[in-house]
Amino acid sequence: MGTKKVFLQKLSLLITSIILILGIAGCGTSSKTGGEKTKTKLTVWLWSGMGFEEQIEQYAKENDIEVDIQLSEFNDVHSNLTTALAAGSGAPDISAIEVKGIDKMKGNPEHFHNLLDLGANEVKDDYLEWKWQQALSSDGKNLLGLPTDIGPMAMVYRTDIFEEAGLPTDPEEITKLIQTWDDFIKVGKEIRAKTDNAMITSAKDLFLVIEGQGTEKYWDEKGDLIVETNPQIKKAYEYAAKAVEEKITADIEVGTPEWSAALEKGDFAVQFAPAWRLGSIKETDSSRKWNIALMPEGSGNVGGSFLTIPKESENQEEAYKLIKWLLSPEQQLVTFKNSGNFPSTPGIYDDSAIQDSTDEFFNGASVGKIYAEAAKKVTYVKEGPESLLVSTIVTDAVTRVEKGQESPEKSWESAMKELERQLNR
C-alpha cells in the first residue's frame, strides 16, 4: 500500500508539471522568452496635418504599447481603407475617415467595431451633438467613430483690398457690413469697381458655403433625393450664378499652386475658410494682410473627421482606449494648441487657451473665439452615401457657368440629367 501511495504522489506531480508546461506553451502567442509578455501593437492610418503623432507616441510610451502610425495622402487613406474592407484583409486597427467618407461607410456598419459596444455612450456628452450624429447609423444602433476636429466656417479677408476700396477693415465692422449674401454680392461689386480685384476665389466656393448652411442637403431623413427641390441648393446655385454675372469671382481652384500665388498677390478679397484651412494660408508670403470675420447668414461646416476601428482589428479594446484618450476634451485642446485644428468638444470652448487664442499672421485675429462662435451655429446635415458623387455633379454645373461654357439654366439641366444617369446605373 505504501508503494502505491508513493506512485500516486509521483503521478500527481507529473500531471501537475504537464499542465504547467501546457499552460506556458499556450501563452506563447503573447509571451516572449522567459515569460515576458509581448506589447500590444496597433496600426493607425492618418493623413498629414491631423496633428496626432506626438500625442499618440506619448500614449504608447505611457501605456507600454507599440503604435505604427502610417501617414498617407487624404484620398489614399480612404481608397486604401475601402479596398481593405471589401477584401476583408489589410485594414488597420484604427483609421481616420472624413465626414463624407463616414456617411458612405454607414451603409455597411458591420465593417467596423460598434463603439457603443465599447462604452462610447459614456463620452457622448463631450462632443457637439451634430458631430456625434455624423458617425451614428440611421437607426442609432451603431457608432462608427469618435469625432476628431471640425471645420466651422469663417470669412478670411484682405484688409489692404478692403481699405483700398474705402471699406472698413475691423472684423466687427466687416461682420456688420456683410450680414447677408446680398450684402456680400454688393460689397464684391464695390471691390471689383474700385480695385479691380475679385471678391472670392470661385463661384464653386460660394455655392458650397451657402449650400452647407441649410438643414438638408442631397437626401432627406427618409433617404429620398431632394437635390431639385431643396430650397437651400436653389439659393446657393442662384447666388453662385449671380456672382459670375457680376464678375466678382476669380475662377481659381482652392489648394492649387495658382491659388497659393493668388493669395500672396491679393487677386481676391475673401477666402472662405474652415479652421483647418488657416494653416495653408499661413504657408504663403502674405502675413498681416489678412483678418477674420464671421460668415454672413450663419456658419456651416466643411470637413472634419473621425477615428474608427475596422472590424478586422483584434485589438479593439486597446484601440478604443487610445482614441478615447486622444479625442478627449483635454487632448483635443492639446491638438488645437499644437496644430490649430478646431476641437469637436464644446466643453473647452470657454477655456482661455481658445478664447484668448490670436494669430499675428491674421493681424491678431481672435481665431479661437471666432471659430468657437461659428461652431455653435452649425446644425446636423445628412450627407448621404453618394454625397461625393452628387457634390461633384452640382459643383461641375457651377464651374461650367463660371467658365462661360453653359448658361445657368442649361448647366443645371445638364447636371440633373447626369445625376439621374449616375444614380440609376
Cα-only R_g, the chain: 27
Provide the CATH number for the domain formed by 41-150+304-355 in this structure: 3.40.190.10
Closest CA to 374 of 287, 305, 272, 281: 272
Mapping DSSP onto H, E and C, the string for 99-157 reads: HHHHHHHCCCHHHECCCCCCCHHHHHHHCCHHHHHHCECCCCCCECEEEEEEEEEEEEE
Strand 145-158 versus strand 342-343 pairing type: antiparallel
pLDDT at 271 over 60: yes
**Weakest mean pLDDT among 13-17, 40-44, 102-106, 140-144:** 13-17
3-state secondary structure of 158: strand
Greatest pairwise CA separation for the chain in angstroms: 116
Can you tell me the mean pLDDT for 39-56? Answer: 95
pLDDT digits (tens, 9 = 90+) for 226-258: 999 999 999 999 999 999 999 999 999 999 999
Supply 117's cell numbers: 459596444
% of the chain beyond a pLDDT of 90: 79
At residue 300 the predicted structure's pLDDT band, cuts being 50, 70 and 90, is confident
Which of 19 and 389 is assigned the larger pLDDT?
389
d(CA 301, CA 209): 8
pLDDT at 3 over 70: no
Question: According to the model, what pLDDT value does residue 14 have?
Answer: 46
Can you tell me the mean pLDDT for 258-285? Answer: 95
Residue 158 β-bridge partners: 290
pLDDT digits (tens, 9 = 90+) for 112-157: 999 999 999 999 999 999 999 999 998 899 999 999 999 999 999 9
Average pLDDT in the chain: 90
The most confident of the ranges 19-28, 95-104, 401-410 is 401-410
Q: Where are the domains of the chain?
A: 41-150+304-355, 151-301+364-423
Question: According to the model, what pLDDT value does residue 122 have?
Answer: 98
pLDDT at 10 over 70: no
d(CA 364, CA 331): 25
At residue 36 the predicted structure's pLDDT band, cuts being 50, 70 and 90, is low
Can you tell me the mean pLDDT for 48-66? Answer: 96
% of the chain beyond a pLDDT of 70: 91
Contact 332, 352 (CB under 8 A): no
Closest CA to 400 of 390, 391, 409: 409
* 41-150+304-355 shares its CATH topology with 151-301+364-423: yes
**The pTM is what?**
0.82
pLDDT digits (tens, 9 = 90+) for 344-393: 999 999 999 999 999 999 999 999 999 999 998 888 888 777 888 999 99
Residue with cell 502610417: 70
CATH topology assigned to domain 151-301+364-423? D-Maltodextrin-Binding Protein; domain 2 (3.40.190)
Question: According to the model, what pLDDT value does residue 41 have?
Answer: 97
Question: According to the model, what pLDDT value does residue 37 have?
Answer: 66
pLDDT digits (tens, 9 = 90+) for 180-215: 999 999 999 999 999 999 999 999 999 999 999 998
